[in-house]
Amino acid sequence: MTETAAGTTAATAVSTDSPVLLQVEGLVKHFPIGGGLLRRQVGAVRAVEGVDLTVHRGETLGVVGESGCGKTTLGRTVMKLTEPTAGKIVFEDRDITNLSRRQMRPIRRELQIVFQDPYASLNPRMTVRDIVSEPLRIHGVYRGREGRLRVEELLRTVGLSPEHANRFPHEFSGGQRQRIGVARALALNPTMMVLDEPVSALDVSIQAQVVNLLSDLQKEFRLTYLFIAHDLSVVRHISDRVAVMYLGKIMEIGTKDQIYNGPTHPYTQALLSAVPIESPNHRGKRERIILTGDVPSPANPPSGCVFRTRCWKAQEICAEVVPPLIDHGHGHPSACHFAEIRRPLAIEPASAPSTL
């Protein structure tokens, strides 16, 4: 089996000058909560609550956040796998917000998705050939011998061998299954892929294989990625820019360097501070921000700033005024009334141990 090239830097430098591929404005997705005898709507889970973002051609935009922050719903809504409640989605200069399923079909060739769980996202009764060729058949571009060759080529592209085509998903390990999912997404030569936690179900050594595969494919096919994950380390490795979500909103968005080395939103700072670092040399040498409490329910989010209930900086204004996502003079936008740089990943130079 071929392995993906190892010596690759994941984040290719894509400037935000490159053309916009996907633009999302004021995107809202509410899921109604039914209740009572008559199943009347008694409320809504505000999964995505007014998201604006832009994805440039060829870049990887990472979306991070904890469970329930709306990052998966964002990915699905952008793809129109679920209908947006409000807002606008423009893909390749075309407003796709209100397109019907049929009208979406040509768009789907360009915009594909890879799901988190390689166990649940592959039909266990289909062979790998059937799975990978399904998009080709749906779009009516699968033709006999040519189609078979295309499937074999796709399998080789993702590091599997053509002989795997006749096997069933259960015969593969988690990492190999995720490769099958990637081959399926690649089948129609898409421009953009939404990657929804593509490596979180995998062991660390296998994660690295799939991350490298995704980086290589991006270079080879000039793909644009919306990379959704809760793992801040993987997101750092693969992204050019990063958006941090909390309770359906973007708290902060910027280049990888801005988010990891100069975050200005307290939530971003707390997230980065909470990740345990894989080096015992860092013990006790890093600032720890321990948030109190849990994430509030997205069915009943706090007034004003949604993060204020767990924020050490919160003042009266935070309960009253929703902080806009704007640049406070740090070069990137942050939705905090009191945005300022704090570096939770930095180690105090005085106490840093010498390199071994």
Where on the chain is the footprint of another protein (CB under 8 A)? 1, 3-4, 6-11, 66-67, 173, 175-176, 203-209, 211-212, 230-234, 236-237, 256, 260-261, 270-283, 288, 290-292, 294-295, 310, 345-347, 352-356
Closest distance to another protein from the beta carbon of 208 (Å):
4
Tell me the C-alpha distance between 167 and 59, whole Å. Answer: 34
Q: Is 39 exposed, middle or buried (0-12, 13-18, 19+ CB in 10 A)?
A: exposed
Closest distance to another protein from the beta carbon of 120 (Å):
17
Q: Which lies closer to another protein via its Cβ, residue 124 or residue 280?
A: 280
Q: Which lies closer to another protein via its Cβ, residue 230 or residue 330?
A: 230
CA distances from 120 to 8, 117, 174, 277 (A): 30, 5, 11, 31
Residue closest to 185 by CA, chosen among 144, 213, 149: 213
Q: Which lies closer to another protein via its Cβ, residue 33 or residue 204?
A: 204
Lookup result for tokens 């919306």 = 226
Q: Which lies closer to another protein via its Cβ, residue 22 or residue 242?
A: 242
Closest distance to another protein from the beta carbon of 317 (Å):
23
Closest distance to another protein from the beta carbon of 315 (Å):
21
Q: Which lies closer to another protein via its Cβ, residue 308 or residue 328?
A: 308
Closest distance to another protein from the beta carbon of 309 (Å):
13
User: 248 with 296: CB under 8 angstroms?
Assistant: no
* Pairs from 139-146 (Cβ < 8 Å, separation ≥ 24): 139/105, 139/109, 139/188, 141/188
